[in-house]
Amino acid sequence: MENIVTDIRPLLAVLVSAVAVLFILMARKLPNLREGVSYVAAGIKFLLILSMVPVVLAGGVVEFTVFEVLPGIELKFRADALGMFFALTASFLWIIATTYSIGYMRSLNEHAQTRYFSCFAIALSAAIGVAFAGNLFTLYLFYELLSIMTYPLVAHHEDDPAWEGGTKYIVYLVGTSKTFLLAAVVMTYMITGTLEFKEGGIFTTAMPVVPVILTYIFFLIGFAKAGIMPLHNWLPSAMVAPTPVSGLLHAVAVVKVGVFSVVRIMLYVFGVEVMGAFGLGMATAFFVSFTIITASIIALTKDDLKARLAYSTVSQLSYIIIGVAMLTPSGITGGILHIACHAFSKITLFFCAGSIYVASGIKKISKLDGIARRMPITMAAFTIGAFSMIGVPVAAGFASKWYLAIGTLEAGSLALLMVLLVSTVLNAAYFLPIIFRAYFKEAPNTEEFLRIKETPFVWVPLSITAVISVIIGVYPDFLLSMIEIIVGNL
């Protein structure tokens, strides 16, 4: 039986950045103080979450019920191993992304920076809120909050492409969540009488098959943030946002909230037993296989660096889902581990893309010839990130892919193993040419090219994430010990 600790820390961790917004707004005339507030909030948030690690590692769960809204529907926070895993990743990366944001936004002299940092902080509150949500109501609340508060970030430039991207973003995300997700929440409540997350799920195999399956499908469609095809198109469109947004939100916070929510409902609403008995696990695995392969193929065709990364993200997100959907211990381990691996590696890649853009104004892959000579740190980090995404040993991505591959064998499905292998080849096919170009192609000998120079605010954060990508690959034990608790309790 799990050991429940009642403590206010999960709520505080969520609120820190929301409160910080007040100070950010107050300090709007003093940019240094304003960004200082972001740092302090990010630091406090991370430490608060870190302080709960011992409890969770000891097999405990930190819970805090704020109040009951309707009978059986509470505003409730619950920091368990799965939530902690995501919250640690997201809050740590906020600290780094803040540094990067300062470098990026100031180098480009972007407008409306107060709005930018405020929305960023609320988005982080929402992401942690989803991580620590104790029931579907709380999860839904923060899920919606995240959609709304990231809109100003996506449409930050306020020009026509930005409005177009922003509109697509909000139509996809809110359009699905206000209909399918809401319907799924209502159906869950009406079928089970509760919205609480529970180990082993709240649905049982004794419940009628058709409504349960329908609810599950509604959830999958409703969580469009997970980027499962055909509801992935908002993500490439959201690339109109400034790069730190693409980095933290569209490689970590927003998309991972989608995937995390899918994992949450698979394991804690439906439960392994129901998922297996109704054949939902394997069906999901095969369904997202399509996304993995197709998104990789589309990525091959993109010349815009951020667009290629976006499609790579779409493909990699489904790795997480495929792992958990296999419902085997190694599969689930691999899937959840990939949340962190992908987060660190993909944010590195996006930061690199932004670094190149800040320094040189280049967005196209075809213009990157010889860029490594002018930007050695950036391209070294990019190489590490790319290797991690391909799954080259020692880099983080290898660890998760290893578990995923074992998972396919445990599930006895060679077809899924083939999907992983084919996608690995495709990953290599779309990443290696970039690296080749940057290092081995003749650089243009123009004056403009020679003026390219990396800025420290930009290269420091991206080297940190790159180094961590390697550390996770070599020493994933800390993360694995957490996942062990998740898997052990299922």
Partner 1 sequence: MTWLMDLQVLNNHILSVLIFLPLAMALLVLAIRNDEVVRWITLATMVVVFILTIPLICGFDTTTHTMQYVEGPYTWISAFNAQYYLGLDGISVLFVFLTGLIGIVSVLASWTSVKKSVSGFMACLLFMQTFMIGVFCSLDFFLFYIFWEAMLIPMYLLIGVWGGPRRIYAAVKFFLYTLVGSVLMLVGIIALYFAAGSTFDIQALMANEYSFAFQAVVFLSFFIAFAIKVPMFPFHTWLPDAHVEAPTAGSIILAGVLLKMGTYGFLRFSIPMFPDAANYFAVPIIILSIIGIIYGALLALAQTDLKKLIAYSSVSHMGFITFALFLFNVNGMEGGIIQMFNHGITTGALFLCVGIIYERTHTRELSEYGWVAKLMPLYAVFLFVFTLASLGFPGTNGFIGEILILFAAYEGWEFYLIFLLIGIILGTAYMLYLYKKLCFGAGCASHHGEEPAPMPKTAKTAKDINGREALALFILLIFVFWIGFQPMGYLDIMHESVAHLLDQAGHLPATEVLVEGAGEALGIVGQGGDILLDGLSDAVDSTAPEL
Least distance (Å) between residue 198 CB and partner 1:
21
At 172 the three-state DSSP class reads: helix
- The set of residues, in sequence order, having a beta carbon less than 8 Å from that of 426 and lying 6+ positions away, is 293, 296, 297, 299, 300, 315
Considering the complex, state which of residue 172 and residue 398 has its C-beta at the smaller distance from partner 1: 172
Residues 109 and 150: their CA atoms lie apart, in Å, by 20
Crossing angle for the helix pair 329-360 and 376-390, to the nearest 10 degrees: 160
Residues 404 and 331: their CA atoms lie apart, in Å, by 5
Please, which of residues 377-436 interact with partner 1 by CB under 8 A? none
Considering the complex, state which of residue 183 and residue 213 has its C-beta at the smaller distance from partner 1: 183
Least distance (Å) between residue 465 CB and partner 1:
25
Q: Is 108 in the site for partner 1 (CB under 8 A)?
A: yes
Considering the complex, state which of residue 155 and residue 464 has its C-beta at the smaller distance from partner 1: 155
Which of 189, 223, 382, 430 is in the footprint of partner 1 by CB under 8 A?
A: 189
Identify residue 130 by its one-letter amino acid code: V
Contacting range for partner 1; rule: CB under 8 A; set: 106-114, 277-285, 305-313, 454-462: 106-114
Contacting range for partner 1; rule: CB under 8 A; set: 62-70, 291-299, 335-343, 469-477: 62-70
Considering the complex, state which of residue 155 and residue 228 has its C-beta at the smaller distance from partner 1: 155
Crossing angle for the helix pair 396-410 and 376-390, to the nearest 10 degrees: 10
Considering the complex, state which of residue 111 and residue 441 has its C-beta at the smaller distance from partner 1: 111
Torsion of CA 180, 184, 190, 195, to 10 degrees: -140
DSSP 159: S
Structural contact between residues 197 and 269, judged by C-beta atoms closer than 8 angstroms: yes
Which of 64, 86, 137, 350 is in the footprint of partner 1 by CB under 8 A?
A: 137
| Dihedral pair phi/psi, residue 78, rounded to 5° | -150, 110
Considering the complex, state which of residue 187 and residue 394 has its C-beta at the smaller distance from partner 1: 187
Considering the complex, state which of residue 243 and residue 469 has its C-beta at the smaller distance from partner 1: 243
Q: Is 109 in the site for partner 1 (CB under 8 A)?
A: yes
**Cross-strand pairs, 196:** 135
Q: Is 69 in the site for partner 1 (CB under 8 A)?
A: yes
Considering the complex, state which of residue 189 and residue 430 has its C-beta at the smaller distance from partner 1: 189
Angle (nearest 5°) at CA 134 between 267 and 117:
110
Beta sheet of 73-79, edge-to-edge order: 3-6, 60-70, 73-79
Contacting range for partner 1; rule: CB under 8 A; set: 104-112, 278-286, 408-416, 447-455: 104-112
255 membership: H or E segment, kind and range: helix 254-264
From residue 148 to residue 187, the character string flagging contacts with partner 1 as x (rule: CB under 8 A) and all else as - is: x---x--x-xxx---x------xx--xx--xx--xx-xxx
Least distance (Å) between residue 106 CB and partner 1:
13
Please, which of residues 190-209 interact with partner 1 by CB under 8 A? 190
Contacting range for partner 1; rule: CB under 8 A; set: 11-19, 50-58, 144-152, 323-331: 144-152
Considering the complex, state which of residue 118 and residue 284 has its C-beta at the smaller distance from partner 1: 118
Q: Closest Cα partner for 479 from 73, 56, 40?
A: 56
DSSP 133: B
Give the number of C-alpha atoms closer than 13 A to the C-alpha of residue 70, restricted to the C-beta side.
8
Q: Is 111 in the site for partner 1 (CB under 8 A)?
A: yes
Least distance (Å) between residue 29 CB and partner 1:
13
Least distance (Å) between residue 44 CB and partner 1:
23
Least distance (Å) between residue 247 CB and partner 1:
18
Least distance (Å) between residue 180 CB and partner 1:
8
Size of the site for partner 1 (CB under 8 A): 35
Q: Is 68 in the site for partner 1 (CB under 8 A)?
A: yes
Contacting range for partner 1; rule: CB under 8 A; set: 68-76, 384-392, 436-444, 476-484: 68-76
Q: Closest Cα partner for 242 from 342, 123, 100, 145?
A: 100
Contacting range for partner 1; rule: CB under 8 A; set: 29-37, 102-110, 258-266, 448-456: 102-110
Residues 165 and 251: their CA atoms lie apart, in Å, by 17
| Dihedral pair phi/psi, residue 192, rounded to 5° | -100, -20
Residues 203 and 468: their CA atoms lie apart, in Å, by 38
Structural contact between residues 299 and 423, judged by C-beta atoms closer than 8 angstroms: no
Considering the complex, state which of residue 24 and residue 482 has its C-beta at the smaller distance from partner 1: 24
Number of H helices, E strands in the chain: 22, 3
Length of the chain: 490
DSSP 226: G
Structural contact between residues 324 and 266, judged by C-beta atoms closer than 8 angstroms: yes
Which of 31, 106, 144, 370 is in the footprint of partner 1 by CB under 8 A?
A: 144
Least distance (Å) between residue 162 CB and partner 1:
8
Q: Closest Cα partner for 219 from 201, 235, 237?
A: 201
Binding residues for partner 1, rule: CB under 8 A, are 67-71, 75, 108-111, 137, 140-141, 144-145, 148, 152, 155, 157-159, 163, 170-171, 174-175, 178-179, 182-183, 185-187, 189-190
